[in-house]
Amino acid sequence: MASLGITSSELVDLLNRPIEVIKIFSERMENLLDLENFVIELIPSLGKYPFLHDKFLNFEGIDHGDIELKIFRILLDNVLFKECKELVFDLSTGHNLYATAALKALRSLSVAQDLFNFDKLLMGEPFMAIKIKKSFSPPIVSKLIKGPYYLITEPVRARVFFDFPLDYDEIKKINPKRFVKFKVQEGNEKELEAIKRGSQIFKNIKVYLNVGLYLHNTIRHNLPLALYYGNKILLEDIGIWPKEDEVKSAMDDLIEYIEAYGWSNKIIKNDKNSVTVSYRGVNRRETLYSILALIETMALLRLQRKLSRDVDKELGVSIDKLKKDFISNIYSKYDTASRDLALNRRMLERDLNEIVESGSDKLDEGKCRLLSEVLEEPKTGREEGYKKRGDVKRNFFAHSGLSREIVHVCKKHGELYLKYKFEARSHPNPSEIVEWIKNPL
């Protein structure tokens, strides 16, 4: 901004008109680089810069995390959601604040790419991965090297572990003040109005994040039947089952809100010695992790839709399908998840084999029975209290979500099927199952 050669009054005017700033720099870059397709984005500044001969331009209220988030948002819009094939991020300007923020944003983009394709990763399906690279030049000594200067490129990757970005308590506390650094004081109507405008946005986001947490935990805690029937259980409990584009729209609303109230809404002071620009700023952790969680939620919704597509409406999910989808694919294919979920593979196989061994002979062709009527009742030992009401939650998790009180086993053409069937007084009921899955502790 200071390089434009304008007065402090003109600078203040431009700072209030970001679209005009982008237009000015677009024209300069077009003439300088002779390019047709390029995008210019404004990144919040941080620090103190000399301006004119006797003045300074100060930026206050933001930190390194704001710059990282802004770069990450730009990468989402122009790379991840544009199906870009390759990204080379040039860091040759030097190892300064913006370069380190950019490196962190690139790693977050790598995580976001894996989460965006999580459904394919879990099922071992191929997808077009963006090649994310950073580039930088070696130290340049202008007196010895006349150029052109070569660039070194290196791939950027970040490992994704099988954990949802936000936990139950963090989602519960979501509200506008946890994202934008509002200065709420008595009588500050402007701040209160901004918070009020964000209330509905974050109410929707909280619902979608709870859906994502539910779906994630059905895999994390080995509850496959709860994944297949997630749409029915959540519809009965919270009355909503979102579509992928609705979650994407909520994420866009979140980004638009922090842009408007965290970075765009600023106070500009022009005094004798300086021009000072003050932003509210944004909380990095809550914002970044919420965006990543919403991206994973979109992928898990696709996975649930894909897996439940051929579930028999009357009979439920065949045991062969459960073994194929979870034991052969989800618990085995994705490198990181296969290590994190190795125990799930063994436990599910044990529980399904037990049902097959008991149910094959006890069930008549074309009939359904409650799982408690199919399995042999334990007579002694630690399983003695299985049927006691106080142990229902423990047994729900200990036996792959296949509670004897609500799971029905059906037989057709010699094949066994499992389904949840809730009665008026079922225990557990859909609301209990949803709360257990979101918050197992």
The ranges of the chain annotated as CATH 3.40.50 are: 41-301
Residue 46, pLDDT above cutoff 70? yes
Q: Flag whether pLDDT at 389 surpasses 60.
A: no
Q: How confident is the model at residue 296 (pLDDT cuts 50, 70, 90)?
A: very high
Percent of the chain surpassing pLDDT 70: 89
Mean pLDDT of the chain: 86
Contacts of 230 (CB under 8 A, 6+ apart): 211, 214, 215, 218, 241, 304, 308
3-state secondary structure of 90: strand
Q: Tell the residue number behind the tokens 């009665």, with chain if given.
A: 423
The DSSP bridge partners found for residue 368 are: 410
Nearest CA-CA partner of 207 in 176, 232, 239 = 239
Rounded Cα distance between 358 and 286, Å, is 48
3-state secondary structure of 317: strand
Note the pLDDT tens digit of each residue in 309-349: 989 989 999 999 999 999 999 998 766 555 778 889 999 99
* Residue 16 burial (CB count, 10 A): 11
Task: Say if residue 385's pLDDT is above 60.
Answer: no
**Position with higher pLDDT, 200 vs 15:** 200
Q: Is the pLDDT of residue 386 over 50?
A: no
Coil/strand/helix, residue 48: strand
Please state the rounded mean pLDDT for residues 237-254.
90
Q: Which of 148-162, 354-368, 391-405 shows the lowest per-residue confidence on average (mean pLDDT)?
A: 148-162
The arithmetic mean of pLDDT across residues 266-294, rounded, is 91
More confident residue, 359 or 145: 359
Residue 407 sits at φ, ψ, to 5 deg, of -95, 130
pLDDT band at residue 145 under the 50/70/90 scheme: low
As a whole number of angstroms, the distance between CA 441 and CA 424 comes to 26
Q: Considering the domain delimited by 310-433, tell me its CATH architecture.
A: Orthogonal Bundle (1.10)
Q: Which residue has the tokens 């009965």?
A: 236
Task: For CATH 1.10.3740, list the domain ranges present in the chain.
Answer: 310-433
CATH number of 41-301: 3.40.50
Which amino acid type is present at position 100? Answer: T
**Cα angle 52, 55, 60; round to 5:** 120
